[in-house]
Amino acid sequence: MALFIFLGPSYGPLSIPVRILAVLAVILILIINFADFLVFPLFTKLLGISMVPAKGYMIPKTQDSVIKNVSGLFYATGYLTANIYNYVFTAEEMVQGEEQDMAGGPDKWEKAVMSIDFPFKFNVMTVAHDIQKFREDLEGKRSFLEFQYSKEMGSGNPSPSFIDELQRKMRVIEMRMDRLGQGERPVDSVMYMETTAVGVSQKEATDKLTEQLSHLQTVFNVFDLSITRVVGRELYLLHKYNYIVPEIKDLNANFTVQS
């Protein structure tokens, strides 16, 4: 629609402002869908809007923490994403030294935890796929790729780049089937960390929270995680997921789910 308004009919002397608005609308739609963590807190900060996610709790206008006041003590809770980006079930080849990495996990965890002197929580939300169905899907995809491959090879002038592409896709599927055979199960997961700080004022609690989150970021870097502070819309959802484990479709709709 914005494109139609931009390229479409003339609006007389109002053409330039309308076209500028059309461009701004496109930019806003893109930001809302791909970087809403920038827009939403800005919007609440400018308008001074705070939120009440449940009785007794408050999300301040900065949209970076959930505050609870208990008999004059302020508890500020904040969240960090903690996705393991080097783990990919969709990888073409197994990462070298994956077993050593796994064996090092318990040690790294204990060392990390020993250096943390405040409360925190490491959360993994997960759902496993049905292996049988997953395998059947993979076999279906492999058969289709093999058909495309033989068709391309049988044609008079096969395209080398297309052949390479098909071979790569087939290797990925083979790899995934091998991993299934080794007992690995495909899962969808969302990982995040949570910490709570306490203070006699809201500012003290949120300042301490920021310190704690930075400390967690530093300490958990050894795990090769993608760690970012959660601000905006997702903060409310993570607070809600303290009490409810969401359905996978809700997770997929709101977070980057790892497969």
Partner 1 sequence: MARDIQLITLVLLLGIVFVLGFFISVMPPQYYILSALFAVIALALDVIAFSNKFYFYLAEPLRKMKGRTITLHAEEPFYMYPSGSAIAIREESEITASAFIKIPVYRSATEMTEEEKLNFARLFARVVTMSKYPMKIAAEQYVINKDDFIDKISKKLAEAQERYTAISSNKDSPRNEIDRIEGELTMWHNLFANVTKSRSQGQMAYAMVSATGASEEEAVNLAIQKAEEAAAGISATLGVTASLARGDEILAFLEPEYVIPPTTVAEMMKKEGESAQV
Nearest distance in Å: CB 173, partner 1:
20
What minimum distance in Å lies between the beta carbon of 22 and partner 1? Answer: 6
As measured in angstroms, the least distance from the Cβ of 140 to partner 1 is 21
Select 8 or 140, whichever has its Cβ closest to partner 1.
Answer: 8
Q: Mention every residue, 6+ apart, whose C-beta is less than 8 A from residue 2.
A: 22, 23, 25, 26, 29
Which of positions 88-107 make contact with partner 1 (CB under 8 A)? 99, 102-107
Cβ closer to partner 1: 63 or 166? 63
Cα-only R_g, the chain: 24
Contact present, 230 and 63 (Cβ < 8 Å): no
Binding residue (CB under 8 A) for partner 1 from 63, 65, 83, 196: 196
For the segment 204-243, give every residue that binds partner 1 (CB under 8 A): 233, 236, 241-243
For residues 4-43, which are near partner 1 according to CB under 8 A? 4-5, 8-14, 17-18, 21-22, 25, 28-29, 32-33, 36
Nearest distance from C-beta of residue 13 to partner 1, angstroms = 8
Distance CA 125, CA 83 (A): 11
DSSP for 133-195 reads: HHHHHHHHHHHHHHHHHHHHHHSSS--HHHHHHHHHHHHHHHHHHHHHHTT---EEEEEEEEE
Residue 149, interface with partner 1 (CB under 8 A)?
Answer: no
- Please identify which residue in 35, 38, 128, 222 interacts with partner 1, judged by CB under 8 A: 128
Quick one: tokens of 235?
């903060």
- CB-CB contact of 220 with 193 (8 Å): yes
- Take residue 230 and report the two structure tokens written for it: 């959660």
Does 185 sit near partner 1 (CB under 8 A)? Answer: yes
Stretch that binds partner 1, among 139-147, 148-156, 161-169, 184-192 (CB under 8 A): 184-192
| Eight-class DSSP state of 59 | B
Does residue 54 touch partner 1 according to CB under 8 A?
A: yes
Among 72, 65, 85, which residue's Cα sits nearest to residue 212?
65
Q: Which of 84, 138, 175, 189 lies at the binding interface for partner 1 (CB under 8 A)?
A: 189
Least distance between partner 1 and beta carbon 220 (Å): 12
**Token digits for 204?**
């003290």
User: Which pair of tokens denotes residue 55?
Assistant: 């009785």
Number of residues in contact with partner 1, rule: CB under 8 A? 83
Q: Are 126 and 185 in contact (CB under 8 A)?
A: no
